Structure 1
Amino acid sequence: MDWLSAAKSFTLIAQYGSFTQAAEKLNISSSAISKRIDWLEKQMGLSLLIRTTRQVKLSEAGHLLLPKAQALIAQFDHILEHSQEVNKTPSGTLKIAATLAVGNSILMPSIQTFLSQYPDITIQLNVLAPGALPDLHHDLVITRHYDEFDSVAHKGTCLLDYQMKLFAAPSYLRRHSVINNVNDLAGHKMLLSNYYHKKGHIVLSDDSIFTFDHCNFVSDHLDAMLEAAEQGMGLMFISASYIHKQLHEGTLVPVLPQVKSANKQLWAYYPNSAFIPIKTRLFIDHLKQQLATQQT
């Protein structure tokens, strides 16, 4: 006899209220499951079940033991699942949520290389509304770090530290007054996401507050925002990680390079459980490696 078999028998009897049904579920005889419970009660020195001719109920000691027995079984199942996954090719669907900006600029290059290594995995990338908190419908939620988000249902890990800076099209800078310092920005219009439009300001690296007094375009669509910036519609606060192509081609250039936002972080949030699926762990590790390579 062993603790795990006895615990499984005990939890099934608690679930069905019947030795017979629990025995059928385990594909053993009623006498065999009865022996397991007798052994468990002797080991505990307690009576765990109240038996009548019509039903079986948990005793007070049984009610106290039940969550511990369930936790023991869950822990064993996680260990077994993990050991089985180590010996097989990762497969299945990995559901990821991210904002359009993160998905297009940060994730897509890593997704392409990840799938080339693990062709049996399917990635479902869904759009996360800017400012939306992580949910439990996805295996991974990639978003900026939220100081106010403290959910016991989630774990998280930092993927990237970054700062936002000002950029504009050369054509915009030629048509407008010279920008030598932060005070000169007062007469210029900004291109903003809905989040920063509602917030109305951004905290800079020196802890000062830069207020968005004027804007002429608001959108959460990264491609539209970049098109507006390249057309010279206004100034844009954004991480350089999102605009490698534009900087390389010269369609956007830095404005006041010394002006930076306070430090920010990109995080991966995932459900808090004792066992993290191998495909989730592999993608997080791959993404961290790719982002670290880009930063060097």
Structure 2
Amino acid sequence: MSKQTPSIEAGKRVLRIEADALTALEQALDGAFDAAVGRIVEAKGRAVLAGIGKSGHVARKIAATMASTGTPALYVHPTEASHGDMGMITPDDVVIALSRSGETQELSDLIGYCRRFAIPLIAITAMAESTLGRAADIALVLPDAPEACAETKAPTTSTTLQIALGDALAVALLEQRGFTAEHFRQFHPGGALGARLMRVGDLMHAGEEMPLTAADTPMSEALIAMSEKGFGAVGVTGANGKLAGIITDGDLRRHMGGGLLDQPASAVMTANPITTEPGVLAADALRRMTAQSPRITVLFALEDGKPAGILHIHDLLRAGIA
């Protein structure tokens, strides 16, 4: 059992304070949240996030989360807005301004601009009766919870609540828009996220790259197709062009004997093999491979029963999925 040092006690105290505040925020969500989501969905333009100091850092994070999950968004620094960047905001946009106190002086020009040009303004503040809270079309009011750093009042609990509320908005918007994993992949083509959301069709080998042979082809010829393509397997197709089976190194070992080369491919193949489809997530194809006993290393991707491509586990490894 670990020793309860002053540092551990302080860490647990902070987490308790912030966890309690998050619970209070959950219980406080009401029609204003629903109205905010609706207003953002209805906007023809973008969600424009604004804030100063720690609230500014949170606003940038919320804008990035929204932009990557289907809601066009950007961050505008309130001070820079007062010196020309206000022109980035159009009447088609909706402004989301963050300020715990609601009295941040740097937001005043932005608030006035929204009022002048009838740009919807959503406030995220702990003070409903503040300047920002009263000026907003919709006020999302944070619980007036204590900051975790009681002596200095440094933004801790309040910024945690802002981040959590921003995440709640982004997810609610995502679900309203019907944003899917495929859309998410388009916005995250690189890195681990992009890799996990790749489709079989993005990685499979198609056309002449596929090792295929007819069911009545002698094994002497089927082995040539198998060795030429380098997948350690060959697909066996019927007269209708549909995949009837697959021949792997394991099938060869099981049928090893003097007459192997004279047998037709159909006599050696494993019928009705495990397959996938081009539209399946590559990660799901990997699970199909590893769920077998023994594990398999290749899958044919079928369209209407016919081979459209072949996927090797090495393809998944190179893509960072396996």
User: What TM-score comes out, normalization by structure 1 length?
Assistant: 0.30
The structure with the larger Rg is: 2
